[in-house]
Structure formats: C-alpha cells, structure tokens
Amino acid sequence: MKTMPINERNQLNFSGGPGVLPESVLHQVQESIHAVPEVGLSILGISHRSDWFASVVAELRSNIRHLLGLPENYHVLFLQGGATQQFSMVPMSLMAGSARPAEYVHTGYWSGKALPEARLEGPVRVVWSGESSGFSRLPRDEELSLSPDAPYLHYVSNETVEGLQFRRVLGRDDVPRVCDMSSDFLSAPGEFDRFSVIYAHAQKNIGPSGVTVVVLKDEILKDAPTTMPGFLDYRKQIEADSIFNTPPVFAIYVVLLVTRWLRDEIGGLAAMDRINTRKADALYQALDSSDGFYRARVAREDRSKMNVAFTLPSKDLERSFLASAGEAGFSGLGGHRSVGGIRASLYNGLQLSAVERLAGFMEDFRARNRSLRAA
C-alpha cells in the first residue's frame, strides 16, 4: 500500500492522550483496516473467537512478559474500562471486608481520582499528599510512614497532569504494591517483579483507547471475595483469557504491533528509555535556558520524562503561545483543565525530531515576546 509519510500531512501530537503512535505501526494499522495480511479480513471485522485473535492475545501476553522481565507467576490481562475501572476493581479484590486501611499516596490529579472509589470498598489511609504544595513535588522515603499490615499500597508512577514521575519503587516488600503506570508503561526498564498489581490504559504509550493492560501476581488473588460480578472479577477474566465478553479486538491488535515495535525496532525498554531521556532533556533544556520565560511547575528532581508541564509569565502569553503553536503544526499542548498552563507529552511514539522542532519554536516565540514578559 502506497502512503504518504504520516508527519507530512498531520500535526505533531503532544497531547496528554490519546498519544502519538509510531509511524511504522500507523502504516500497519492502515493496511489492517483494509485487510490483515495473514487473514484477508479487515481488523474491524475479525471475530474475537477466531484462532487468529487467540494467537494475538497469546503473543501480546508473551511480549509484555518479555519486555517487563516477568516470571511465570504473573498473569497479563487485557481489560476494558481504563484505569478508572481499576480504581474500583483493585479495592474490590484486595480490600473487601478488611478492617485495616489500604494505603494511598496522593501525588496529583489521577491518584486523587482513585481515592473515592477505594473508600467505597473499605478504609483508606492517605500516607502522603502533595495537595498543600499544589502537587509540585513527590514525597521522599522518610516522609512515608507505612504500615506492615496494610492490605496494599497504591500509587501512580507518573502523574500525567502535573508532570511528576517517580524514579524509584515505593513501599515495603512485605506489603503488596499496586501501581497505576498508565502514562509511563513500557517507557523504561524497572523492577516490575516487585509489584503485585500493575495497570495501564493503552492510550499514552502503547496503543489507542479501549484496552487496559493489567499485570497480576498469582498470590494477590488468594483472598479475593467470590461474590463479585464476573466482569469485575480478575479470576473470571483470567479463566476467560481476557475474552469474558467481546474484547476490543482492534485496540488489542494495535498494542501487539507496538510491543513488536518496541522489541524489534527499538530494541527493548532500555533503548526506549535512552530515546525518551534525550527527548525530555531537549525540552527541559529549552525551559531551563529561557531565563524564566518558561517555568517548569514541579521540582527538578521529580520531573517527568513523559509529560513536561510549564507556564509562561502571563495567561495572555499562554493563549498566544497555544495559538501560535497550533498554526505551526503542534497539537495538544494545552495544559489539563485542572491546572492550565502548557503541557507537552513525550510518549514513546513521538520522535526526537518532533521535540527538537518544538524546542526551536519555543525559543523563537520567546525571542518575539521577550518584551511582554511580566515583572
């Protein structure tokens, strides 16, 4: 199939989500919408009960195990409902009937969203909150007073809205760790076998919206209640091989293509991290060398490689920046509605050249508007 280069006809996608997909994957998706080569049918019309789709699920599970370096005592599920559904499924499975509070770290918008859902299922203790500081930093280990008796510890590895990212694993090894990795999943290597539950919706680094990857350690479900609805029961989903109901075949197939790209074209998560580090360094350098014209909103040591959030000297300049950026071909730079400002998301599929173009635009915009800088 003859196609134009993607970036010659589309704006560059810096959105917080859905994020940009690798160009080679997009070309494969274009072809598969017409017909998946080995099947001869459109991906939009292939049965979820087909042998071909069973092989897609099996390969995708294997690819994720390989990329994360997981041992065999982990299940990998492909569910629906996004991270939002996991805010409920986790406490329903791990906290039901417990008199001991589950522990949550409140570092921003999305970790805050998980709290009210957990409180519907049982007691919750917020072990640290960054709300008083405007979620401008992450906790140090000495600020976390953690109980050895908690059912689990929950935190978000990368706060998409505020632009905060943990560089370490939190918690005690004798308490199950649950981590929402939605916005930095498969972006870098890590100690993934230290977690009991990892979940990540796809529409940041690994695919389109519609599928959520859930990684579960076997032992974490041994005391889960048996009275949950089947769709919300991890064990039923495991028994059904992620096909408890009609799954999002298209979205799961695209995630498979992304894992192949990570494995075969990029060379694994360490190589992906090196690319992501170069992208983040290029953009933070543009902020740090701007003499205060661009201001990162979080502490330097806690800056995210995935989401670079910053402000300009005035709201008028921010509006002008966004308008000019849109005209120049940069899409999705507006900050989240809860914090405003500017946010550039640098997910896996975004090329370094796109970030370098944005950094150049930022320097040009600063030069044109330096005299308007507020005191």
180 is catalytic: yes
**Separation of alpha carbons 87 and 154, rounded Å:** 10
Q: Are 226 and 41 in contact (CB under 8 A)?
A: no
Alpha-carbon distances of 272 from 265, 277, 278, 284, 375, rounded to whole Å? 10, 9, 10, 18, 40
Q: Which of 128, 173, 174, 180 is labelled catalytic?
A: 180
Strands 212-217 and 295-296: unpaired
Residue 314 CB neighbour total at 10 angstroms: 13
Backbone angles phi, psi at 263, to 5 degrees: -75, -45
261 flagged as catalytic? no
Give me 240's structure tokens. Answer: 């059904």
2: annotated active-site residue:
no
- Say if residue 91 is preceded by a cis peptide, omega within 30 of 0: no
What are the backbone angles phi and psi of residue 271, rounded to the nearest 5°? Answer: -65, -40
First to last CA, the chain: 55
Are 359 and 367 in contact by the 8 Å Cβ rule? The answer is: no
128, 184, 204, 261: the active-site residue: 204
Q: By three-state DSSP, how is residue 103 classified?
A: strand
Q: Is 68 helix (H, G, I), strand (E, B) or coil?
A: helix
Catalytically active residues are 110, 180, 204
